[in-house]
Amino acid sequence: MQDIKQKIFIFIILIIGFQSSILINAQEVLIPLSENSKLKEYYKKNKVTKNLKAAAIIELPFFEDFSTSNLYPNATLWADSFAYINSSYPDLPPSVGVATLDAINEKGEFYTGAGYELSFIADYLSSNSINLDYPGDQTIYLSFYYQPQGLSIDDPQEKDSLILEFYDLDAQIWNTVWKKEGSPNQSFEQVILHINESKYLKNGFRFRFKNLASLSPNSIPSLVGNVDHWHIDYIKLDRNRNASDIVHDDIAFVKPMQSFLRDFQAMPWKHFLVNPASELKPNIELTYRNNANTDRLINQLDFTFTDNTLNRVPETLNGGASNLTPGLLVNYAAPFTYSFVTNTPDTASFTIKSLITTDSSDPVENNQVSYIQKFYNYYAYDDGSAEVGYGLYGDGTRFARLAYQFNCRKDDTLKAVQMYFNRTLNNASEKYFYLTVWDDNGNGEPGDIIYEKEGVLP
């Protein structure tokens, strides 16, 4: 491709059709995804299979907040791989990371037989066997948090329920013990259930969540996508509890760490070096919460910066101590002095870890988050985790133009453009388009054509 001059804006123009037209009545729309690209990519490379070897019996306490798992549930605790472990769909969970149940299977695709009108059983999250052989014990309780919808753009309909079942080992059947009808997004809500029936107080007790889902009826296949998200977090099963044991003495991160760049998630290393100070955000930004009903002390908040391209000692910055009032959600922001400097000429990457040290025995897994800041050979606005698709709908979209604007920091050569196209039902989005690169006209709008290729398919 052609050289791109310094301080020139690049516009990627997708022209649907083969002639120019004025966009009059088209509307911008956000569309639920019809696949999970991360699961599809991982499954294709690794071929996730069911573990046929019996897992070891789990002794109490059973605790899971999904802060250490990625994509699939932890096989030491869970018997299946249908739930999607992530931190991008929930809205302010108790701790970073949740299990999401939706309409997409472990391969990242719609379930076979997924329908529009009738709800179907979609995902499961099933525990491995647990030792509850405590006859007559009246102090065993299971608690968990749940949230419908979250940051998804589609809420579960009333019929699209979240269900919890217990396994009767002697009868070899699953019994429904709790159910919640679908609803729009709300804050995470906690449920606590007493387990005192003798049929469950066995060595080999199991529980599982499942969800009912139904695809949104739509005559436009490209508007049909993943729906009916339920998010589950902070599951705790133990003895010596009671019905009021719903307060968790835990300070936890509730969001992942984000890019340290002001405008991008990633950018070319040589372009960053033009003016590093102007590219970086002024503050480190984190979100964490005191889940306790008492004041809690953070003894120390540390940030460790590791240069992944050179073997040198990591640098640690101290964020100080603080006292958190009960239930306090903290949006932390503070200046930092790390300069992101290394001796490599073309690429670089840095791992930044944040660790909370507290005054008691918090689950350490949710007291740390990390981020890899990448400086390779591309600019990127997104973080690589697609939650929704974007499109135009209505009269006038046949010859629509969509533009993305990039401010190139120095003279360079544009060699490729990477895009993720949301796969749609029946591949309805397979339409030809022009891929066009324009320079800036001086007013922040497309000017002269630098490059154009027609007949491109998603």
Residue 320: which domain range?
251-375
Long-range contacts of 443-449 (CB under 8 A, 24+ apart): 444/9, 444/405, 446/11, 446/13, 446/403
Question: What is the SS3 string spanning 227-247?
Answer: CCCEEEEEEEEECCCCCCCCC
Same domain for 164 and 272?
no
Which of 50-54, 93-97, 228-232 is predicted least confidently? 50-54
Quick one: 49 and 166 in the same domain? yes
Between 435 and 317, the higher pLDDT residue: 317
Shared-domain flag, residues 203 and 58: yes
User: Which DSSP helix (H) or strand (E) runs through 41?
Assistant: helix 37-46
Nearest to 148 by CA among 208, 215, 227: 227
Query: Does residue 218 share a domain with residue 280?
Result: no
In angstroms, the CA 456 to CA 152 distance is 30
Please name which of 123, 73, 144, 127 lies closest in space to residue 229, comparing C-alpha atoms. 123
The amino acid occupying position 341 is V
What was the pLDDT predicted at 20?
35
> How confident is the model over 277-289, as a mean pLDDT?
97
Residue 252 binned pLDDT confidence (cut-offs 50, 70, 90):
very high
Q: How confident is the model at residue 18 (pLDDT cuts 50, 70, 90)?
A: very low
- Confidence label for 8 from pLDDT (cuts 50, 70 and 90): very low
Give yes or no for residue 6 having a pLDDT over 50: no
> Pick from 329, 345, 375: which residue ends a domain?
375
Q: Show the 3-state SS of 136-169.
A: CCCCCEEEEEEEECCCCCCCCCCCCCEEEEEEEC
Q: What is residue 297's predicted lDDT score, i.e. its pLDDT?
A: 95
Among 106-115, 153-162, 268-277, 425-434, the least confident range: 425-434
**Comparison of pLDDT for 228 and 252, the residue scoring more:** 252
Q: Does 227 share its domain with 331?
A: no
Q: At 332, is the secondary structure helix, strand, or coil? A: strand
Average pLDDT over every residue of 342-351: 94
| 123 pLDDT above the threshold of 90 | yes
Phi-psi region of 340 (alpha: psi -120 to 50; beta: other; left: phi over 0): left
Q: What angle do CA 221, 180, 139 make, to 5 degrees?
A: 145
Between 434 and 162, the more confident residue is: 162
- Residue 104 within any structural domain of the chain: yes
Q: Is residue 201 part of a domain?
A: yes
Q: What percent of the chain has pLDDT over 70?
A: 89
| Residue range 282-305: mean pLDDT, rounded | 96
The tens digit of pLDDT for each residue in 379-436 reads 999 888 888 888 777 777 777 778 889 999 999 999 988 888 877 656 655 677 788 8
The tally of domains found in the chain comes to: 3
The pLDDT confidence band at residue 19, using thresholds 50, 70 and 90, is very low
What type of residue sits at position 43? Y
Look up the CATH number of the domain holding residue 314: 2.60.40
> Is residue 342 scored above 80 in pLDDT?
yes
Same domain, 125 and 172: yes
Q: Is the pLDDT of residue 335 over 90?
A: yes
Q: Examine the fold and report which residue of 341, 375, 409 is the final residue of a domain before the chain moves on.
A: 375
Q: Which residue has the higher pLDDT, 131 or 401?
A: 131
Q: Please check whether residues 76 and 22 belong to one and the same domain.
A: no
Lowest mean pLDDT among 86-90, 157-161, 219-223: 219-223
CATH at residue 210 = 2.60.120.260
Q: Is pLDDT of 305 > 70?
A: yes
Same domain, 163 and 263: no
Q: If you average pLDDT over every residue of the chain, what do you get?
A: 88
- The pLDDT, as a whole number, for residue 28 is 82
Q: Are residues 311 and 192 part of one domain?
A: no
Q: 210 and 76 in one domain? A: yes
Q: Over 80: is that where the pLDDT of 273 sits?
A: yes
Last-in-domain residue among 212, 238, 264: 238
DSSP-derived 3-state class of residue 425: helix
- The reply to whether 88 and 195 lie within a common domain is yes
